[in-house]
Structure 1
Amino acid sequence: MLKAVIIDFDGVIVDTEVIWFEIFNEWFKNNWNYDLTIEEFLICVGSHSKELLNRLENEHNIIIDKNKFNKETSQKFIDESKNLPLKQGVLEFIKSIKNENILLALATSASRKKPITHLIRLNIIQYFDVIVTSEDVDKIKPHPDLFNKAIQKLGIKTEETIIIEDSVNGLLAGNKAGINTIVCTNDVTKYSKFENFFIKVDSLEKVDLKNIIKKYDESSEIYANR
């Protein structure tokens, strides 16, 4: 039986990934005259920028003060994302979850302030039963810690849960946690190569929650009759 949905924030609830790519691309262009590609940027989507910075240092000898980079890009992101709307289909999907009396959790690699600020601004924070951020775990995605912590806080089993993710790092984390993961791509992550997902869509409008609930119920019956 499906008892909970765990959803990512960046790129799923609000379309932040496009803004992040533009900010990163502009920063490297201005500071290093380097054209950052989508493929390079995808390394850090759903995880941390240090993975990208380490790659650029090793492969292109682009040595960056990580603290300076994070401070400058983070401030620009705050400025440019403060009016971002919910992605299409998000509110309807969240309401459908609650209408079915299913628990809802947020699990994000971001620190707590950013998602909380946006969830309050968008007036949807009241729908979430659990919120897990990078401040709650030792390792972020692609490690499974965020999802394991969410499961623990929800008080349910992995087989009673489904994850909504937009990135390869998120999908890897979901698979490592042993939880079925729906990939919901955006204009950045659509270029990623995804493998071993439960369902793949390009909008939450295309996720049929009732059909997913039915599949979980059927699986539970099969397991109970063994």
Structure 2
Amino acid sequence: MMIKAVLFDFDGVIAQTETYKLKQLMLMLDHFQVAYTKEQIFSMAGTIGSEVLKKMQKLFYQDAAFIAHQDEILAFKTTRPDLKALKTKNLDELLTVLKKRYLKLAVASNSSAARLQTALDSLSIASAFDLIASATDLGRLKPDPYVYQYAMAVFNVRPEETLIIEDSQLGIAAGKKAGAYVAALKDELGAIDQRGADIILEDIGKVVEFIDFINLP
């Protein structure tokens, strides 16, 4: 079976905004002396909005420091990052190779389509993608597989003809539920449990080798 489409998550795959955001959160927890592990914080990768608040309340419901300062912590917002500085290394080269192979490319993220369009424009890569699919706009967030199923339907490709590039547990679960191949891009701290993926890559450029492996007769 030949891969015909590659679907990219945004945060943690196209740009390292996931790591940036979670490291900022750890600084906030340090400030209020809330005890945590990196694995706890990185378990929130791929989570957005009110879901982050629910996850934190569940993680720290017995922590006295969190309880005392939860209003300040839950009001936490990251400073606006420089997206160009956070663009994933070797991404441009990968997109060039994939386009030369005439593969269909999409961004499929929990973020809104408006936010994704602005981010891709700022990174000067919007034209590389044939589709922007927003789970928020579609009304079904990962780990629901719908955003990936939607992209595959638009491209008229089957799950076994699709490679999804993810980083978070939620995204990996969504990709596997959609029936596609899933490659996980390892986070810089190695704190995300990515064992559900078909392969874990330290360099996004290795996606080409994985596609070639899948395409072997």
TM-score, L = length of structure 1 = 0.81
Give the structure 1 partner of residue 142 of structure 2.
Answer: 141
Structure 1 residues 12 and 87: CA distance shift in structure 2, 3 A: same
- Deviation (angstroms), 1:6: 0.3
- Deviation (angstroms), 1:194: 2.7
**Partner residue of 1:50 out of 43, 49, 53:** 53
Give the structure 2 partner of residue 203 of structure 1.
Answer: 203
Give the structure 2 partner of residue 194 of structure 1.
Answer: 194
**Residue 34 of structure 2: SS of its match in structure 1?**
coil
* Alpha-carbon distance in 1 for matches of 2:59, 2:175: 27
- Deviation (angstroms), 1:5: 0.2
Give the structure 1 partner of residue 39 of structure 2.
Answer: 39
* Alpha-carbon distance in 2 for matches of 1:182, 1:95: 19
* Alpha-carbon distance in 2 for matches of 1:11, 1:154: 24
Task: Provide the alpha-carbon RMSD of the alignment.
Answer: 2.4
Are residues 1:215 and 2:214 paired? yes
* Alpha-carbon distance in 2 for matches of 1:50, 1:140: 16
Ranges in structure 2 where 5+ consecutive residues have no aligned partner: none
Structure with the largest fraction of helix: 1
Ranges in structure 1 where 5+ consecutive residues have no aligned partner: 219-226
* Alpha-carbon distance in 1 for matches of 2:3, 2:143: 24
5 Å matches for 1:1-226?
1-30=2-31, 32-48=32-48, 49-60=52-63, 62=66, 64=70, 69=74, 72-73=76-77, 76-78=78-80, 80-188=81-189, 190-209=190-209, 212-213=211-212, 215-216=214-215, 218=217
Structure 1 residues 97 and 83: CA distance shift in structure 2, 3 A: closer
* Alpha-carbon distance in 1 for matches of 2:83, 2:212: 35
Contact map agreement 1:108 1:133 (CA 8 A) in 2: yes
Count of aligned positions: 210
